[in-house]
Structure formats: C-alpha cells, structure tokens
C-alpha cells in the first residue's frame, strides 16, 4: 500500500473514532442538506438521524424532495450545502466508504433483465466484495426471506412486478449493510410481497440495521412502528413517533348525517361546521365530542341518519400541517 | 483493477445471453471475405500486386470495417444500464468511476482483439491470407486499432442521449468511414477527392499499417506511423469522452 493511501486510511480511522466517541453516533445523519435544480429549490436544509436498529419512515407527497434526499444520501447526487454521514463516513469526503456501508433500493427496480435472479444477486454481492461462501449464504438467506427460492434460476425479464420488487430489495441487502434505504419498496407490489417486505424490515431493525423507508402507504408505517419524518416543499415539517405526531398535530373527523337539513347545534368549545344535511367536527378526540353533541340534539335526534367517526391519523397530521393530502403532488419541490 | 472484475464478468455474461454482436463482428466479416476476395484479387493485380490473393486485402479490410461496430456496443452497454435502471445502483455501489469504466470497457477490448485474432487466423487458414512482413508489426497496428475503437465508443457514449442516436451513429460510422478510409475497396480504385480526405479517418491508418505488412512485406518500422496516428485519434476520442461524459446525466435508453 502506498504511503498516501496509508495516511488517508489513518485519517479516516481517526475521524470515525472521534465521531463515535464524541457523539451518540447515528448510523445515518443528515444535517442542513440543501439542493436546488437551477432556481428551483428541492431541499431547504433537511436534518435527519437514524439510529442503529431504528426504522425511520420518510413521508411526503410526490415532489416533496424525498427522492432528491435519498439520491444525495446514496452519493449519486451532490448537495449544494449540508453534510451526510453514513455509518460515520462523510458522503462528500469519503463517498465510496459511505456507499459501501449503505444498501440502497431506488424507486425504479434496477435489474439486469437477461440475467437470472441468482446472477443478479451474485453480481451485486461480488461488487460489494463478498467472497464465494458469504455470497452463497446471503443468496440463500435473502431468497428465503423474500420468497424467491423457486425463482433463483429465472431470468428477471420473466418476473412479475412483485417478484421484481423483491429481487430489487434483496440486492440492496446482499452485503448486510449497516444502513439500508428503501424508496417506495412496495409500490405496485402484491399483498404477499408487502407482508414479506414488512417482516424483512422488522428483522433488519431487530438485527441492528438502520432503515430509512419511504412509502405512500400509511398502514405500513404503523405496521413497522417506525419513527416518522414528514417532508414537504423540501423541508422537514414534523418528526416523531406516529403517536407523538398524531397527538401534536392530528385530528379526527366526526360527521353526523341527518334526514333533511342539519339542525343548528352549539356546544361550548367545539367548532361545528354545517354542510347541508351533515354536521362536521374536526377534533383530536372525536368519540367524546360525538357524545356531547348527541346530548344536545334533543328532538332532532330522531332525524339522525348516521354517525361517522374517523380516528386521528397521519393523513390528518399532514393535512393539518400543510393543508394538502399526502397523495397530492408537492407544490414546489422536486 | 480487482473491483472492475465483477463488472467485466457481468458484461460478458450479458453479452453471452445475446450473441448477435459476436456473430456481427466475427462471422459476417469472414463471409464477406469469401464473397469479395475473387473480385478484389483482380483489383490487386491491376494496382501493382500481381502475387497477392484477394484475401490479402479483404481480410484486413473486413476486420477493420467490422471492428468499428464495437463503439455502438460500448454505447449500448451504458444506455441499457439506464434502461434497466441499474446505472444508479452501480453508481451507489461504492465503486470508483475509473473502475466502473474499466469494467465496462475491458470486455470490448477483449472482443476487439478476439475479432482480429479470429478474422486474421481464419483468413490465413481458410482463405489463404499471406502475411509477408512483420507479424509483431501487425499486432501493434491491431492493438492500436482496438484502443482507437474503444475510445471512439466512449466518445460516442458521451455524446448520444438515446438509443436512436446511438444506432444512427453506430451503424453509419463503420460503413461511411470504412468507405472513405479505403477499408471497403482499395483506395486506388476510389476518386481523387477520397484520397485527400482518407487520412482523416482511423480506418485509413489501420489499412495502411496492415497493407504495408501484408501486401508490401514491410517490417516493424512501417507500423510506427500508422500506430502513432491511430493513437492520436484515440487521444482525441478520449478527450471528447472525458469532456462529455457526465455520470449523473439521465439518458433515454429507448425513445
């Protein structure tokens, strides 16, 4: 090894040690990351941390800046400002070391179409430097975990959408990286794939892997008991556990529908909206509020047709914070 | 270098699944040598090579013409990474850009050298090609030619944005430059204006190097100028590739 390489390695080792000793080291740390495409800002100072064994779900509408952020973390796009550390390695200063600590499954499934499932897995494993024995073990483990056992010798061009998605995810995990980023891993996937994916992510977290997971399916976030980072317009607008976010920003919805025009009802401290035949209330606790309103209906209770109670959800958190739904397109970020 | 090996092997594996390119660069030139050598023999006799067989021109000419289809293969090997969405994966894999490029280019170097070996080998064994001069000189020109072809492929890759553009350039270049450079027909049979512009093509210098050794029986010295000229072309192509190649740039693989 040449002396410059030794110096560089020593510098990296010192930096890594300092990082681990001085800080409670997150496996993934994003600090003040900003990125613009021309004059259009895509990220405006994003901060994010994922600890080993933690699943963080990055949520935001299309165009919120999620894919840009993931591309910067993966080292395939350069940030205009800010730093990203993967397993202690600064992506800007030591991109290859950072990348070798990261398993990344981008949104589009990336597979060598004429090659078999096994050949695809082996190639990316070899690229990560796995030896033959380790490679064989990982291929077997991942094929079992992601229900690919019977498909090992099948060319990827002959796989279904869900099967392709599972191989795509397996590739990101082949080298057992300490940090994994899965960008919409269940888009277009069947229920079997979705369940396998959630079980796999839970296993990863249990084994100490830090997982950053983007999705549009909110039940998945709850199933993963993931911490949530809400992103919109290139900014983190809220973060915390699902319960914390709902408690802080969520609201349930109560609808009382009548036969004929909705009556005029007033309850102290509860803003009630009237909409033709319905009364509407947005509240963090819709059930007790429903009871209080029902008590005030008097004779109108006989005209009551239905009562619908929607519990507070992440969707309502996003709606309250941005005035838009999660499945709407973002306003001004890529 | 070690980190380029998986990419090198993967490229060969992908190529093996669709051997059309191997047929194009290995088999078609040999068929054309068989078809053309009779007519070319008379041209060679009329242009001052009474003892030469048609294969003495047709074998190097077809080798030179068809090796220039390899730049399109290089372009395709990059564009299909975009089409298969594997380019992002490769770039995020922690492999250095130089190792990535090396892994993708080395199979083409091997294919180019293999093509030379097979076409010249079968040309000698089956069609009666006679190498009158220095064999090392022939190898030197062939090696420089392969380097030129590979750098041309990288330059084209840096310039094109779609498969359609690649197809247009990749298919026109071998025929047009081959005709202008005297690799389709002996230069002496072509109009005077072609003689003037022929040296601006790498095919001309490759044919000049090969013909000097095969037809005129010249030694190693005769290969130095053609080799130097081919390497100059390679340098220019490499410069274009270095300036134009942007790893982050999205490509339209189809459309």
- What confidence tens digit (pLDDT) does each residue in A176-220 have? 999 999 999 988 788 888 888 899 999 999 999 999 999 878 888
A38: alpha, beta or left? (left if phi > 0; alpha if psi -120 to 50): left
| Inter-residue contact B72 to B167 (CB < 8 Å) | yes
Which among B6, B17, B88 is the nearest to A106, CB-wise? B88
Task: Evaluate the CA torsion angle A236, A237, A240, A241 in order and state its sign.
Answer: negative
Starting at the edge strand found earlier in the chain, the sheet holding A278-283 runs A273-275, A278-283, A252-258, A304-310
Q: How confident is the model at residue A103 (pLDDT cuts 50, 70, 90)?
A: very high
Please provide the average confidence, as pLDDT, over all residues in chain B. Answer: 91
User: Across the strands, what pairs with A25?
Assistant: none
Q: Would the pLDDT of A107 be above 70?
A: yes
Strand partners, A180: A103, A211
- Mean local confidence (pLDDT), A54-77: 92
pLDDT at B231 over 90: yes
pLDDT of A9 over the 50 cut: yes
Quickly count: other Cβ atoms within 10 Å of residue A334's Cβ: 18
Q: Measure the CA–CA gap between A209 and A32, rounded to whole angstroms.
A: 24
CA-nearest of B107, B2, B4, B122 to B63 is B122
Residue A166 — pLDDT band, cuts 50, 70, 90? very high
Spatial distance between the Cα atoms of B117 and B200, rounded to a whole number of angstroms: 26
User: What count of other Cβ atoms lies within 10 Å of the Cβ of residue B38?
Assistant: 11
- B84 neighbourhood in chain A, CB within 8 Å: 110-113
What span, in angstroms and rounded, lies between the C-alpha atoms of B83 and A207? 35
User: If DSSP codes are grouped into helix, strand and coil, which group holds residue B255?
Assistant: coil
Asked if the model's pLDDT at residue A58 lies above 90, the reply is yes
- Per-residue pLDDT band for B255 (boundaries 50, 70, 90) equals very low
By C-alpha distance, the chain A residue nearest B83 is A110
Q: Given this model, what pLDDT does residue A8 score?
A: 62
pLDDT digits (tens, 9 = 90+) for A267-312: 888 889 888 899 988 887 888 888 889 988 888 889 999 999 888 8
CB contact at 8 A, B121 and B207: no
Would you place residue A23 in the very low, low, confident or very high pLDDT band (cuts 50, 70, 90)?
very low
Q: What is the mean pLDDT of residues A64-70?
A: 92
3-state secondary structure of B236: helix
Distance from the A116 Cα atom to the nearest Cα atom in chain B, whole angstroms: 10
Nearest to B68 by CA among B218, B179, B210: B179
Give the minimum alpha-carbon distance from A230 to chain B in angstroms, rounded to a whole number: 25
Nearest Cα to Cα of residue A117 among A139, A98, A132: A139
User: Which of B14, B92, B248 is the closest to A104 by Cβ?
Assistant: B92
Structure tokens at A99: 């990348």
pTM value is: 0.83
Task: Answer whether A76's CB lies under 8 Å from B92's CB.
Answer: yes
What CA–CA distances, in Å, run from A45 to A48, A79, B55?
Answer: 10, 10, 69
pLDDT in tens, B96-123: 888 999 999 999 999 999 999 999 999 9
A10: pLDDT strictly greater than 80: no
Determine the Cα–Cα distance for residues B205 and B225; give it in Å rounded to an integer: 8
DSSP annotation of A185 reads T
Instruction: Count CA atoms within 13 Å of residue B83 on its CB side.
Output: 16
Cβ-count burial of A153 within 10 angstroms (0-12 exposed, 13-18 middle, 19+ buried)?
exposed
Read off the tokens for B156: 């084209």
Interchain contact, B88 vs A127, CB within 8 Å: no
Report how far residue B237's alpha carbon sits from residue B255's, in angstroms, rounded to the nearest whole number: 26
**pLDDT tier at A15, thresholds 50, 70, 90:** low
Joined together, the tokens standing for residue B6 give: 């998986």
| pLDDT attached to residue A333 | 39
Q: Which of A8-12, A35-39, A41-45, A148-152 has the lowest mean pLDDT?
A: A8-12
pLDDT at A118: 96
pLDDT higher at B170 or B47: B170
Q: Given pLDDT bands bounded at 50, 70 and 90, which one contains residue A1? A: very low
Q: Cα–Cα distance between A39 and A51 in angstroms, integer?
A: 34
For B8-65, what is each residue's pLDDT tens digit? 999 999 999 988 888 889 999 999 999 988 888 888 888 888 888 989 999 999 999 9
Strand ranges (E), A66-109: 81-86, 89-90, 102-105
- How far apart are the C-alpha atoms of A1 and A94, rounded to whole Å? 18
Nearest to A115 among B3, B13, B90 (CB): B13
Per-residue pLDDT for B161 more than 80?
yes
| Of B7, B85, B92, Cβ closest to residue A74 | B92
CA angle, B105 then B109 then B115, to 5°: 140
pLDDT band at A44 (very low <50, low <70, confident <90, very high): very high
Residue of A nearest to B18 (CA): A114
Q: What is the rounded average pLDDT of the residues A89-108?
A: 94
Residue B137 has pLDDT above 70, yes or no: yes
The ipTM (two decimal places) reads: 0.86
Q: Where are the alpha helices (DSSP H) in chain B?
A: 5-17, 20-22, 28-46, 55-67, 70-83, 87-91, 97-127, 135-159, 163-180, 192-197, 202-214, 224-244
Average pLDDT over residues B229-239: 97
Under the banding of pLDDT at 50, 70 and 90, the label for residue A127 is: very high
> How far is the C-alpha of A299 from the C-alpha of A303, rounded, in Å?
8
Q: Give the per-residue SS3 of A98-158.
A: HHHCEEEECCCCCCCCCCEHHHHHHHHHHHCCCCHHHHHHHHHHHHHHCCCHHHCCCEHHH
Handedness of CA A79, A80, A82, A83 (dihedral sign): positive
Contact partners, residue A27, CB within 8 Å, separation at least 6: A50, A51, A52, A54, A86, A87, A178, A179, A209, A210
CA distance A74 to chain B (A): 6
The verdict on a CB contact (< 8 Å) between A112 and B89 is no
Query: Residue A29: beta bridge partners?
Result: A49, A85
- Distance from the first to the final alpha carbon of chain A: 43
Interface of A with B in 167-226 (CB under 8 A): 171
Looking at residue A22, what is its pLDDT? 45
Which of B150, B127, B154, B152 has its CA nearest to residue B214? B127
CB B68 within 8 A of CB B174: yes
């Amino acid at each position: 090894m040449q002396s410059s390489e030794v110096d560089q390695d020593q510098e990296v080792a010192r930096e890594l040690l300092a990082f681990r000793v001085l800080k409670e080291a997150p496996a993934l740390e994003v600090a003040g990351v900003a990125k613009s495409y021309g004059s259009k800002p895509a990220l405006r100072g994003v901060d994010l941390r994922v600890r080993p064994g933690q699943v963080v779900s990055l949520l935001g509408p299309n165009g919120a800046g999620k894919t840009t952020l993931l591309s910067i973390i993966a080292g395939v796009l350069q940030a205009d400002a800010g730093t990203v550390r993967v397993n202690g390695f600064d992506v800007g200063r030591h991109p290859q070391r950072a990348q070798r600590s990261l398993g990344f499954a981008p949104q589009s499934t990336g597979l060598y179409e004429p090659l078999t499932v096994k050949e695809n897995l082996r190639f990316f494993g070899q690229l990560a430097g796995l030896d033959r024995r380790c490679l064989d073990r990982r291929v077997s483990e991942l094929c079992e975990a992601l229900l690919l056992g019977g498909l090992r010798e099948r060319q990827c061009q002959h796989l279904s959408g869900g099967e392709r998605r599972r191989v795509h995810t397996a590739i990101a995990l082949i080298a057992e990286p300490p940090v994994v980023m899965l960008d919409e891993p269940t888009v277009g996937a069947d229920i079997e794939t979705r369940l396998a994916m959630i079980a796999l992510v839970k296993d990863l977290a249990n084994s100490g892997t830090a997982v950053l997971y983007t999705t549009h399916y909110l039940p998945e976030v709850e199933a993963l008991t993931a911490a949530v980072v809400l992103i919109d317009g290139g900014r983190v607008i809220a973060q915390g556990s699902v319960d914390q976010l709902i408690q802080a920003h969520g609201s349930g919805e109560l609808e009382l529908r009548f036969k004929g025009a909705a009556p005029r009802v007033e309850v102290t401290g509860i803003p009630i909206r009237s909409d033709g035949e319905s009364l509407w209330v947005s509240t963090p606790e819709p059930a007790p509020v429903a009871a209080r309103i029902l008590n005030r209906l008097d004779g109108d209770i006989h005209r009551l047709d239905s009562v619908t109670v929607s519990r507070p959800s992440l969707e309502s958190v996003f709606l309250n914070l941005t005035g838009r739904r999660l499945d709407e397109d973002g306003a001004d970020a890529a | 270098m070690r980190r380029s090996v998986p990419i090198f092997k993967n490229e060969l594996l992908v190529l093996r699944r669709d051997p059309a390119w191997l047929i194009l660069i290995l088999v078609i030139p040999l068929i054309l040598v068989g078809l053309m050598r009779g007519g070319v023999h008379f041209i060679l006799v009329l242009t001052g090579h009474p003892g030469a067989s048609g294969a003495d021109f047709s074998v190097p000419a077809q080798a030179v013409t068809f090796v220039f289809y390899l730049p399109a293969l290089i372009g395709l090997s990059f564009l299909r990474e975009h089409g298969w969405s594997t380019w992002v994966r490769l770039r995020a894999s922690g492999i250095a850009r130089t190792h990535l490029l090396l892994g993708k280019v080395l199979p083409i170097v091997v294919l180019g050298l293999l093509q030379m070996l097979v076409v010249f080998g079968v040309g000698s064994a089956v069609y009666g090609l006679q190498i009158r001069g220095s064999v090392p000189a022939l190898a030197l020109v062939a090696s420089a030619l392969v380097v030129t072809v590979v750098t041309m492929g990288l330059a084209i890759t840096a310039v094109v944005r779609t498969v359609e553009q690649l197809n247009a350039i990749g298919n026109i270049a071998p025929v047009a430059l081959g005709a202008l450079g005297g690799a389709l027909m002996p230069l002496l049979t072509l109009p005077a204006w072609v003689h003037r512009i022929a040296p601006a093509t790498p095919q001309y210098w490759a044919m000049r190097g090969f013909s000097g050794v095969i037809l005129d029986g010249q030694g190693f010295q005769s290969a130095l100028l053609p080799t130097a000229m081919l390497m100059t072309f390679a340098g220019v192509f490499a410069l274009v590739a270095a300036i134009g190649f942007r790893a982050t740039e999205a490509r339209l693989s189809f459309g």
